[in-house]
Amino acid sequence: SNAIADGVWRYSAALPFDDGVSLPEGGTPLHEVPRLEEELGVDRLRVKHEGMNPTGSFKDRGMTVGVRVAEKVGVDRLACASTGNTSAALSAYGARAGLETLVLLPAGKVAAGKIAQASLHGARILEVDGNFDRCLDIVQNLADRGEAYLLNSLNPFRLEGQKTIGLEILEEFRADEGTYPDRIVLPVGNAGNTAALYKAFRELVESGALDESDVPKLTGVQAAGSAPMVEAVEEGWDDIQRWEDVETIATAIRIGNPVNAPKALPGIRETGGTAVAVSDEQITAAQRDLAGEGVGVEPASAASVAGLRKLRERGVVDADEQVVCLTTGHLLKDPDAAAEAGSDPEPVPDDTDAVLDLLAE
Ligand code: F0G
């Protein structure tokens, strides 16, 4: 069957069920980006654009599984803390399943498109006077008290669905290039994807479907103002130390307490990968570069390309490497950041000569 057409449930053999609450999700493009490939100086660069999922981010892959579990268990209320995308996805999948949805968001730190999605899909939205990590503390407390079913990436069923990002990358890259990628570079917030991809690759190796030497190096990228995973990798720690104050233009990964770190750090280490921090300016430059290839992503997503550029400059990534960058969310998620990074519209009178004069300037 066709990998693109079938999406997440193509890989049901690797998932806990045969089907889920589906919109449908997965089957996202693996773009060629020839100018960026040339400029960064790697043998092959592909961009796996998860912004092309139904609600515009990879979260849909987790929700198709997680909300099916909630249905089966028979819960009254779904809940998540979110920097935005999780809330958009949960609201849509919750609506699809006809379940009540509660989302806790850090006030003033969630991009406009994401709040609009949660709102229209009918979630109850609480804006917390605190950062994402505090929102997650509270949602965990609600779940502990039996008030809600938690659908953050602490929920292992979410990560089962997100494994399919890794499965699709391997299958598609192999079909196109005849090999597996040497490295996958991805933005890190709670490190759910890092943990999920590592689990997917381990399961393939254990089943004999993938040679240990073909496992891609998992390479995480964080914003410099929010980089506890980078700190833990550099220090060789087994878990992160929580950062209380975090700031970045990439609000999706404005996270000081990556809850999946204990599962993700071994993945980075044992695949021979690494982690790197990038500035907001580097993120915006990478967002422009991707847009220049027709690939529209939100700032957090562009962190992957910014991180690859930095690692090439440092000589950590070799010129002969075949690399896949993961872009996690769509440009329209954060229209304000896109408008800020792009060029301004030019006013002109409603007159052809005036337009021609302006073009001739
Ligand atoms: N990129 C985007 C666009 C995200 O929305 C997130 C996480 C990440 C990357 C980080 O992924 O947690 O697997 O390392 N967003 C969560 C949310 C926190 O609430 O939408 P991770």
Sign of the torsion angle spanned by Cα atoms 112, 117, 122, 124: negative
CATH class of the structural domain 3-56+156-341: alpha beta
**Region 171-199 average pLDDT:** 98
Task: Calculate how far, in angstroms, residue 348's C-alpha sits from the geometric centre of ligand 1.
Answer: 40
What is the fold of 59-150?
Rossmann fold (3.40.50)
Q: How confident is the model at residue 2 (pLDDT cuts 50, 70, 90)?
A: low
Which position has the token pair 């993945």? 267
Q: What is the pLDDT of residues 253-310, one digit of tens each?
A: 999 999 999 999 999 999 999 999 999 999 999 999 999 999 999 999 999 999 999 9
Question: Residue 162 has which token pair?
Answer: 């997100």
| pLDDT tens-digit series, residues 235-266 | 999 999 999 999 999 999 999 999 999 999 99
Pull the structure tokens for residue 26. Answer: 């997965």
Q: What is the DSSP string of 183-247?
A: EEEEE-SS-HHHHHHHHHHHHHHHTTSS-GGGSPEEEEEEEGGG-HHHHHHHHT-SS----S---
Query: 98 pLDDT exceeds 70?
Result: yes
Over residues 223-235, mean pLDDT: 98
Ligand 1 atom nearest the C-alpha of 329 is: 3
Burial call 252-267: b when 16+ CB within 10 Å, e when fewer:
bbbbbbbbbbebbbbb
Does pLDDT of 52 surpass 80? yes
Query: Is any ligand 1 atom within 6 A of the Cβ of residue 222?
Result: no
Q: How far is the CA of 171 from the centre of ligand 1 (A)?
A: 24
> Residue 83 C-alpha to ligand 1 middle, in angstroms?
7
155 lines ligand 1 (CB under 6 A): no
CA distances from 128 to 82, 116, 138 (A): 11, 17, 10
Distance 85 CA to ligand 1 centre (A): 7
pLDDT at 1: 43
Query: Are both 3-56+156-341 and 59-150 of the same fold?
Result: yes
In the chain, count of helices (H) and strands (E)? 14, 10
DSSP secondary structure of 103-161: EEEETT-S-HHHHHHHHHTT-EEEEESS-HHHHHHHHHHHHHTTS-EE-STTSHHHHHH
pLDDT digits (tens, 9 = 90+) for 299-338: 999 999 999 999 999 999 999 999 999 999 999 999 999 9
251 C-beta closer than 6 A to ligand 1: no
Q: What is the pTM of this model?
A: 0.97
Helix, strand, or coil (residue 70): helix
* ipTM score: 0.99
Rounded to a whole number of angstroms, the distance between the first and last alpha carbons of the chain is: 54
Decide: 154 in ligand 1 pocket, CB within 6 A: no
| Closest atom of ligand 1 relative to the 88 alpha carbon | 20
- From 61, 82, 83, 153, mutation site for ligand 1 pocket: most ligand atoms within 8 A of C-beta: 83
For residues 170-189, give the mean pLDDT: 98
Neighbours of 117 (CB within 10 A): 21
List, for residues 73-85, the tens digit of each pLDDT value: 999 999 999 999 9
Domain ranges of the chain: 3-56+156-341, 59-150
Cα–ligand 1 centroid distance for 105 (angstroms): 13
> Is 64 touching ligand 1 by the criterion CB < 6 Å?
no
Atom 1 (ligand 1) nearest CA:
328
